[in-house]
Amino acid sequence: MIRSVVRGNGAALPRRIMKNADFEGMVETSDEWIVQRTGIRQRHVAADDETTASLGEAAARAALDSAGMTPADIDLIILATSTPNNTFPATAVEIQNRLGMHHGFAFDMQAVCSGFVYAVATADLYIRGGLAKRVLVIGSETFSRILDWSDRSTCVLFGDGAGALVLEAEEGAGAITDRGVLAASLRSDGVHKDKLFVDGGPSTTGTVGHLRMEGREVFKHAVGMITDVIEATFGQAGITAEDLDWFVPHQANKRIIDASAKKLGIAEEKVVVTVDLHGNTSAASVPLALSVAVADGRIKKGDLVLLEAMGGGFTWGAVLLRW
Protein backbone atom coordinates (compact mmCIF):
# COMPACT_ATOMS: atom_id res chain seq x y z
CA MET A 1 0.00 0.00 0.00
CA ILE A 2 1.26 3.48 -0.92
CA ARG A 3 1.78 5.84 2.02
CA SER A 4 2.45 9.61 1.96
CA VAL A 5 5.53 10.02 4.13
CA VAL A 6 6.87 13.31 5.54
CA ARG A 7 10.36 13.96 4.14
CA GLY A 8 10.85 17.51 5.39
CA ASN A 9 9.22 20.52 6.97
CA GLY A 10 9.80 24.25 7.14
CA ALA A 11 8.40 27.55 8.37
CA ALA A 12 8.63 31.29 7.78
CA LEU A 13 7.52 34.21 9.92
CA PRO A 14 7.32 37.95 9.22
CA ARG A 15 10.16 40.00 10.73
CA ARG A 16 7.94 42.14 12.95
CA ILE A 17 6.69 40.81 16.28
CA MET A 18 3.70 42.52 17.86
CA LYS A 19 3.31 41.95 21.63
CA ASN A 20 -0.04 42.13 23.41
CA ALA A 21 1.05 45.38 25.07
CA ASP A 22 1.38 46.96 21.61
CA PHE A 23 -2.43 46.85 21.31
CA GLU A 24 -2.97 48.80 24.52
CA GLY A 25 -2.85 52.21 22.81
CA MET A 26 -4.91 51.06 19.79
CA VAL A 27 -8.00 49.42 21.32
CA GLU A 28 -9.36 48.99 24.84
CA THR A 29 -7.60 45.80 25.88
CA SER A 30 -4.76 44.52 28.05
CA ASP A 31 -2.01 41.94 27.98
CA GLU A 32 -3.69 40.29 30.97
CA TRP A 33 -7.08 39.93 29.20
CA ILE A 34 -5.53 38.49 26.03
CA VAL A 35 -3.30 36.01 27.88
CA GLN A 36 -6.06 34.87 30.23
CA ARG A 37 -8.74 34.40 27.52
CA THR A 38 -6.55 33.03 24.72
CA GLY A 39 -3.00 32.17 25.83
CA ILE A 40 -1.64 34.49 23.10
CA ARG A 41 1.38 36.64 24.07
CA GLN A 42 2.63 37.80 20.67
CA ARG A 43 2.10 37.39 16.93
CA HIS A 44 4.09 38.20 13.79
CA VAL A 45 2.68 40.84 11.45
CA ALA A 46 3.68 41.06 7.78
CA ALA A 47 5.28 44.20 6.34
CA ASP A 48 4.21 45.45 2.89
CA ASP A 49 6.93 43.40 1.19
CA GLU A 50 5.91 40.20 3.03
CA THR A 51 2.97 38.43 1.40
CA THR A 52 1.25 35.06 1.48
CA ALA A 53 3.33 34.13 -1.60
CA SER A 54 6.68 35.31 -0.19
CA LEU A 55 6.13 33.64 3.20
CA GLY A 56 4.85 30.49 1.50
CA GLU A 57 7.89 30.42 -0.77
CA ALA A 58 10.27 30.78 2.20
CA ALA A 59 8.53 27.97 4.12
CA ALA A 60 8.57 25.78 0.99
CA ARG A 61 12.31 26.37 0.46
CA ALA A 62 13.00 25.47 4.11
CA ALA A 63 10.92 22.27 3.78
CA LEU A 64 12.73 21.30 0.56
CA ASP A 65 16.12 21.90 2.25
CA SER A 66 15.17 19.71 5.21
CA ALA A 67 14.00 16.99 2.77
CA GLY A 68 17.24 17.25 0.80
CA MET A 69 15.20 18.02 -2.32
CA THR A 70 14.89 20.79 -4.90
CA PRO A 71 11.78 22.11 -6.71
CA ALA A 72 12.72 19.76 -9.58
CA ASP A 73 11.71 16.83 -7.33
CA ILE A 74 8.18 18.12 -6.67
CA ASP A 75 5.18 17.41 -8.91
CA LEU A 76 2.36 19.10 -7.00
CA ILE A 77 2.02 22.15 -4.72
CA ILE A 78 -1.10 22.57 -2.61
CA LEU A 79 -1.34 25.89 -0.79
CA ALA A 80 -3.87 26.21 2.01
CA THR A 81 -4.79 29.87 2.39
CA SER A 82 -7.71 32.26 2.84
CA THR A 83 -5.55 35.31 2.21
CA PRO A 84 -4.24 34.82 -1.36
CA ASN A 85 -2.07 37.47 -3.01
CA ASN A 86 -4.75 37.96 -5.69
CA THR A 87 -8.29 36.68 -6.20
CA PHE A 88 -6.71 34.71 -9.05
CA PRO A 89 -4.48 33.11 -10.20
CA ALA A 90 -3.94 30.76 -7.29
CA THR A 91 -1.10 31.89 -5.03
CA ALA A 92 0.18 28.30 -5.25
CA VAL A 93 0.98 28.97 -8.91
CA GLU A 94 2.81 32.16 -7.94
CA ILE A 95 4.86 30.16 -5.41
CA GLN A 96 5.52 27.54 -8.10
CA ASN A 97 6.93 30.30 -10.32
CA ARG A 98 8.97 31.85 -7.47
CA LEU A 99 10.52 28.41 -6.92
CA GLY A 100 11.49 28.32 -10.61
CA MET A 101 9.26 25.28 -11.07
CA HIS A 102 7.69 25.06 -14.53
CA HIS A 103 6.52 21.45 -14.49
CA GLY A 104 3.78 19.71 -12.50
CA PHE A 105 0.77 21.61 -11.14
CA ALA A 106 -0.30 23.79 -8.22
CA PHE A 107 -3.56 24.94 -6.70
CA ASP A 108 -4.96 26.74 -3.64
CA MET A 109 -7.24 25.13 -1.10
CA GLN A 110 -9.62 27.23 0.95
CA ALA A 111 -10.94 25.76 4.19
CA VAL A 112 -9.90 28.70 6.42
CA CYS A 113 -8.18 27.47 9.61
CA SER A 114 -8.75 23.82 8.63
CA GLY A 115 -6.96 24.42 5.31
CA PHE A 116 -3.71 22.67 6.18
CA VAL A 117 -5.44 19.55 7.51
CA TYR A 118 -7.63 19.46 4.37
CA ALA A 119 -4.51 19.95 2.20
CA VAL A 120 -2.55 17.11 3.83
CA ALA A 121 -5.56 14.77 3.42
CA THR A 122 -5.87 15.88 -0.23
CA ALA A 123 -2.15 15.48 -0.96
CA ASP A 124 -2.38 11.96 0.48
CA LEU A 125 -5.17 11.11 -1.98
CA TYR A 126 -3.19 12.50 -4.95
CA ILE A 127 -0.20 10.40 -3.88
CA ARG A 128 -2.18 7.23 -3.24
CA GLY A 129 -4.14 7.78 -6.49
CA GLY A 130 -0.87 7.92 -8.42
CA LEU A 131 -1.29 11.50 -9.67
CA ALA A 132 1.74 12.78 -7.76
CA LYS A 133 4.81 11.29 -6.10
CA ARG A 134 6.14 14.25 -4.14
CA VAL A 135 3.89 17.03 -2.90
CA LEU A 136 4.68 20.34 -1.23
CA VAL A 137 1.86 21.12 1.18
CA ILE A 138 1.98 24.73 2.36
CA GLY A 139 -0.14 26.75 4.76
CA SER A 140 0.49 30.48 4.39
CA GLU A 141 -1.55 33.42 5.65
CA THR A 142 -1.49 37.18 6.07
CA PHE A 143 -4.62 37.60 8.18
CA SER A 144 -3.33 41.01 9.30
CA ARG A 145 -4.55 42.30 5.91
CA ILE A 146 -8.20 41.31 6.57
CA LEU A 147 -8.44 42.30 10.23
CA ASP A 148 -10.54 45.21 11.41
CA TRP A 149 -7.83 46.82 13.56
CA SER A 150 -10.47 48.78 15.50
CA ASP A 151 -12.31 45.60 16.63
CA ARG A 152 -10.70 44.40 19.86
CA SER A 153 -12.65 41.15 19.81
CA THR A 154 -10.82 39.94 16.69
CA CYS A 155 -7.68 42.01 15.99
CA VAL A 156 -5.76 40.65 19.00
CA LEU A 157 -6.31 37.01 18.01
CA PHE A 158 -4.63 36.54 14.64
CA GLY A 159 -1.11 36.59 13.19
CA ASP A 160 0.78 35.97 9.95
CA GLY A 161 3.13 33.17 8.93
CA ALA A 162 3.68 30.07 6.85
CA GLY A 163 4.64 26.42 7.25
CA ALA A 164 5.20 23.56 4.82
CA LEU A 165 5.69 19.80 4.55
CA VAL A 166 7.13 17.67 1.77
CA LEU A 167 5.21 14.39 1.37
CA GLU A 168 6.56 11.52 -0.72
CA ALA A 169 5.08 8.20 -1.87
CA GLU A 170 6.55 5.18 -0.12
CA GLU A 171 5.46 1.54 -0.11
CA GLY A 172 3.97 0.62 3.28
CA ALA A 173 2.65 -2.61 4.77
CA GLY A 174 -0.85 -1.20 5.32
CA ALA A 175 -0.29 -1.37 9.09
CA ILE A 176 -0.45 1.21 11.88
CA THR A 177 3.34 0.87 12.19
CA ASP A 178 3.81 2.34 8.67
CA ARG A 179 5.27 5.81 8.35
CA GLY A 180 3.10 8.42 6.60
CA VAL A 181 -0.55 9.46 6.66
CA LEU A 182 -2.55 6.70 8.37
CA ALA A 183 -6.07 8.14 8.71
CA ALA A 184 -7.99 11.34 8.09
CA SER A 185 -11.45 12.67 8.74
CA LEU A 186 -12.84 15.92 7.29
CA ARG A 187 -16.10 17.75 7.98
CA SER A 188 -17.88 20.99 7.13
CA ASP A 189 -21.29 22.51 7.82
CA GLY A 190 -22.27 25.81 6.21
CA VAL A 191 -25.11 26.37 8.66
CA HIS A 192 -22.42 28.09 10.79
CA LYS A 193 -21.29 30.42 7.97
CA ASP A 194 -22.16 33.66 9.75
CA LYS A 195 -20.28 32.88 12.96
CA LEU A 196 -16.85 33.40 11.37
CA PHE A 197 -16.57 35.01 7.95
CA VAL A 198 -15.13 37.86 5.89
CA ASP A 199 -17.69 40.53 4.95
CA GLY A 200 -16.47 41.01 1.39
CA GLY A 201 -15.63 39.13 -1.76
CA PRO A 202 -15.37 39.39 -5.55
CA SER A 203 -18.89 38.17 -6.27
CA THR A 204 -20.70 40.16 -3.59
CA THR A 205 -19.18 43.47 -2.52
CA GLY A 206 -16.28 43.57 -4.93
CA THR A 207 -14.03 44.33 -1.94
CA VAL A 208 -11.66 42.20 0.09
CA GLY A 209 -13.61 42.70 3.33
CA HIS A 210 -12.80 42.21 6.99
CA LEU A 211 -12.94 39.24 9.33
CA ARG A 212 -16.05 39.09 11.51
CA MET A 213 -16.55 36.60 14.32
CA GLU A 214 -18.99 35.69 17.05
CA GLY A 215 -16.22 34.45 19.32
CA ARG A 216 -18.45 32.98 22.00
CA GLU A 217 -20.43 30.98 19.39
CA VAL A 218 -17.23 29.62 17.83
CA PHE A 219 -15.95 28.67 21.26
CA LYS A 220 -19.22 26.91 22.10
CA HIS A 221 -18.99 24.56 19.11
CA ALA A 222 -15.22 24.11 18.87
CA VAL A 223 -14.48 21.43 21.48
CA GLY A 224 -17.35 19.12 20.46
CA MET A 225 -16.50 19.33 16.76
CA ILE A 226 -12.79 18.80 17.32
CA THR A 227 -13.24 15.81 19.61
CA ASP A 228 -15.85 14.16 17.30
CA VAL A 229 -13.58 14.26 14.28
CA ILE A 230 -10.59 13.04 16.28
CA GLU A 231 -12.58 10.11 17.67
CA ALA A 232 -13.60 9.23 14.09
CA THR A 233 -9.92 9.29 13.10
CA PHE A 234 -8.93 7.12 16.08
CA GLY A 235 -11.71 4.69 15.07
CA GLN A 236 -10.40 4.43 11.48
CA ALA A 237 -6.87 3.74 12.71
CA GLY A 238 -7.91 1.46 15.59
CA ILE A 239 -5.98 3.46 18.18
CA THR A 240 -6.70 5.36 21.38
CA ALA A 241 -5.36 8.64 22.77
CA GLU A 242 -2.77 6.70 24.74
CA ASP A 243 -1.09 5.48 21.54
CA LEU A 244 -0.30 9.05 20.43
CA ASP A 245 3.15 10.55 20.81
CA TRP A 246 2.12 14.12 19.90
CA PHE A 247 -1.06 16.13 19.51
CA VAL A 248 -0.56 19.15 17.23
CA PRO A 249 -3.84 21.07 17.28
CA HIS A 250 -4.86 24.24 15.45
CA GLN A 251 -3.55 27.12 17.52
CA ALA A 252 -6.53 29.45 18.02
CA ASN A 253 -7.03 29.50 21.75
CA LYS A 254 -5.24 27.73 24.62
CA ARG A 255 -8.54 27.12 26.41
CA ILE A 256 -9.97 25.26 23.38
CA ILE A 257 -6.76 23.21 23.07
CA ASP A 258 -6.74 22.30 26.78
CA ALA A 259 -10.45 21.41 26.87
CA SER A 260 -10.16 19.23 23.73
CA ALA A 261 -7.09 17.37 25.01
CA LYS A 262 -8.77 16.82 28.38
CA LYS A 263 -11.99 15.49 26.84
CA LEU A 264 -9.98 13.09 24.62
CA GLY A 265 -7.72 11.94 27.46
CA ILE A 266 -4.54 13.20 25.77
CA ALA A 267 -1.84 13.88 28.37
CA GLU A 268 -0.82 17.53 28.70
CA GLU A 269 2.86 16.81 27.98
CA LYS A 270 1.94 15.41 24.53
CA VAL A 271 0.21 18.63 23.41
CA VAL A 272 2.21 21.04 21.24
CA VAL A 273 1.20 24.63 22.04
CA THR A 274 2.55 27.61 20.07
CA VAL A 275 -0.45 29.94 20.23
CA ASP A 276 1.53 32.06 22.72
CA LEU A 277 4.19 32.74 20.05
CA HIS A 278 2.17 33.02 16.84
CA GLY A 279 -1.46 33.77 17.71
CA ASN A 280 -3.97 32.21 15.31
CA THR A 281 -2.27 31.98 11.90
CA SER A 282 -5.19 30.08 10.36
CA ALA A 283 -3.95 27.53 7.77
CA ALA A 284 -0.34 28.16 8.83
CA SER A 285 -0.87 27.32 12.49
CA VAL A 286 -0.49 23.51 12.37
CA PRO A 287 2.66 23.47 10.18
CA LEU A 288 4.17 26.30 12.27
CA ALA A 289 3.52 24.29 15.44
CA LEU A 290 5.04 21.21 13.77
CA SER A 291 8.14 23.20 12.86
CA VAL A 292 8.65 24.27 16.49
CA ALA A 293 8.22 20.73 17.86
CA VAL A 294 10.51 19.23 15.20
CA ALA A 295 13.19 21.90 15.70
CA ASP A 296 13.28 21.43 19.49
CA GLY A 297 13.58 17.66 19.10
CA ARG A 298 10.16 16.65 20.42
CA ILE A 299 8.76 15.18 17.18
CA LYS A 300 11.07 12.48 15.83
CA LYS A 301 10.99 9.93 13.01
CA GLY A 302 8.54 7.16 13.86
CA ASP A 303 6.40 9.22 16.26
CA LEU A 304 2.61 8.98 15.98
CA VAL A 305 1.31 12.54 15.45
CA LEU A 306 -2.28 13.79 15.41
CA LEU A 307 -3.07 17.03 13.54
CA GLU A 308 -6.40 18.78 14.07
CA ALA A 309 -8.06 22.02 13.00
CA MET A 310 -11.36 23.85 13.04
CA GLY A 311 -12.32 27.08 11.30
CA GLY A 312 -14.74 29.27 9.37
CA GLY A 313 -17.56 27.56 7.53
CA PHE A 314 -17.44 25.73 9.86
CA THR A 315 -14.82 23.35 8.57
CA TRP A 316 -13.01 20.87 10.77
CA GLY A 317 -10.84 17.80 10.46
CA ALA A 318 -8.03 15.60 11.74
CA VAL A 319 -5.10 13.72 10.22
CA LEU A 320 -3.16 10.95 11.92
CA LEU A 321 0.35 10.31 10.64
CA ARG A 322 3.52 8.58 11.65
CA TRP A 323 6.42 11.04 11.27
Ligand X SMILES: CC(C)(COP(=O)(O)OP(=O)(O)OC[C@H]1O[C@@H](n2cnc3c(N)ncnc32)[C@H](O)[C@@H]1OP(=O)(O)O)[C@@H](O)C(=O)NCCC(=O)NCCS
202 cis-preceded (ω within 30 degrees of 0): no
Binding ligand X (rule: CB under 6 A), the pick from 145, 152, 187, 298 is: 152
User: Is 97 one of the catalytic residues?
Assistant: no
Which amino acid makes up residue 174?
A: G
Q: Are 239 and 304 in contact (CB under 8 A)?
A: yes
Q: Which of 113, 155, 253, 278 is catalytic?
A: 113
Q: Hey, is 176 helix, strand or coil? A: coil
Distances 75 to 16, 45, 118, 166, 316 between C-alpha atoms, Å: 33, 31, 19, 11, 27
Of 218 and 293, nearer to ligand X (C-beta) is 218
Binding to ligand X by residue 140, rule CB under 6 A?
no
Binding-site string for ligand X from residue 96 to residue 135, where x marks contact by CB under 6 A and - marks none? -----------------x----------------------
User: Is 253 one of the catalytic residues?
Assistant: no
Binding ligand X (rule: CB under 6 A), the pick from 71, 115, 311, 317 is: 311
Q: Which residue is nearest to ligand X (CB)?
A: 215
Of 143 and 323, nearer to ligand X (C-beta) is 143
Give 217-224 contacts, CB < 8 A, sequence gap 24+: 217/192, 219/253, 219/255, 219/256, 221/192, 221/195, 221/314, 222/252, 222/253, 222/256, 222/260, 222/310, 223/256, 223/259, 223/260, 223/263
Binding to ligand X by residue 33, rule CB under 6 A?
yes
Q: How far apart are CA 149 and CA 221, in angstroms?
A: 26
Q: Which of 192, 250, 253, 278 is catalytic?
A: 250
Binding ligand X (rule: CB under 6 A), the pick from 216, 269, 296, 301 is: 216
Q: List residues near ligand X by CB under 6 A.
A: 29, 33-34, 37-38, 113, 152-153, 156, 213, 215-216, 218-219, 252-253, 256, 280, 310-311
Catalytic residues: 113, 250, 280
